[in-house]
Amino acid sequence: MAEQPAYFVKSVEKAFDVLRAFAPDEPRLTVSQVAAKSDMTRASARRFLMTLTDLGYLRAEGSQFELTPRSLDIGQSFLANLALPRIAEPHLKSLAAELNETTSLCILDGTDVVYVACVPSPRLLSVSISVGTRFPAWATSMGRVLLGALSETELKTYYDSVQLQRFTERSIGTLEQLQAEVEQARTRGWSMVSQELEEGLRGVAVPVWRGHEVVAAVNVSLQTHRAPAEAIEKTVVPFLQDAAQQIGHDYGGRATAPSGAAAGGVR
């Protein structure tokens, strides 16, 4: 092993070794287990464990120790400075290459969806969408996915204020239809809007979960002649879900989405 520089504080290294000993499959450890995983004596491990407990990063239950929520503070500033669009971009690029279509990341802003990242189709002819583009949430697959993640109170407020309009002959025309579409998106975990916003264009979207909250939606724009509606669930949705999961994980996600239900608001 290379010699450490003069400024190197060995005890800091050991403290992090102790914290890193805890893992998802081993959330609770004894002094002996920490000592073995951190390559230190049992007496040293105990001193580090007790110190970290006094500082609030660990808690003791009987002979076992486990991390506390305060341990998240170590990475909080780093995660806060990670821009979601930048995190999503490589995954959107991979998705665009896999599907050969334009992919996007959207957030909910008031009653609109806003494109915060977009990767055009590798094909010469692609859908023209840019970062900052806004559409009424109700008229898009991304919007219906994001609306489905709102609390019942937030959703009621939205329904009370929404104003529907006809973009094409296929646009939904009643609040009841919209409510049914949003509930379907919430239940099955994805949404498809076909030629309701623009003729010849179909949008498919899934939510991006970070822990137990939805932070965005991943979307792919398809020309209707290239992707039969009945095949979307098998040929497109799995790719979207995989990309969304990776984005959520890189954005600090630590839990899976609840099945068939929204879990809090969109941030």
Give the CATH number, domain containing residue 33.
1.10.10.10
> Is residue 126's pLDDT more than 70?
no
Predicted confidence at residue 35, as pLDDT, reads 97
Q: Give the domain extent around 92.
A: 83-250
Q: Mean pLDDT throughout 21-48?
A: 95
Q: Mean pLDDT throughout 172-190?
A: 93
In this prediction the pTM is: 0.64
Tell whether 192 and 142 lie within a shared domain.
yes
> Is residue 266's pLDDT more than 50?
no
Residue 262 lies in a domain: no
Round to whole Å and give the CA distance between 66 and 56. Answer: 11
Tell whether 31 and 57 lie within a shared domain.
yes
Tell whether 45 and 133 lie within a shared domain.
no
Residue 76 lies in a domain: no
Predicted confidence at residue 264, as pLDDT, reads 39
Report which of 79, 29, 11 is spatially closest to residue 254, judged by C-alpha positions: 79
Residue 184 lies in a domain: yes
Tell whether 212 and 103 lie within a shared domain.
yes
pLDDT tens across 73-117, in order? 777 665 555 588 889 999 999 999 898 888 999 999 888 998 989
Whether 110 and 223 have beta carbons less than 8 Å apart is answered as no
Tell whether 117 and 228 lie within a shared domain.
yes
Tell whether 117 and 210 lie within a shared domain.
yes
Whether 167 and 139 have beta carbons less than 8 Å apart is answered as yes
Tell whether 152 and 32 lie within a shared domain.
no
Residue 257 lies in a domain: no
Report which of 68, 80, 117 is spatially closest to residue 218, judged by C-alpha positions: 117
Tell whether 225 and 192 lie within a shared domain.
yes
Tell whether 88 and 156 lie within a shared domain.
yes
Residue 211 lies in a domain: yes
Predicted confidence at residue 38, as pLDDT, reads 95
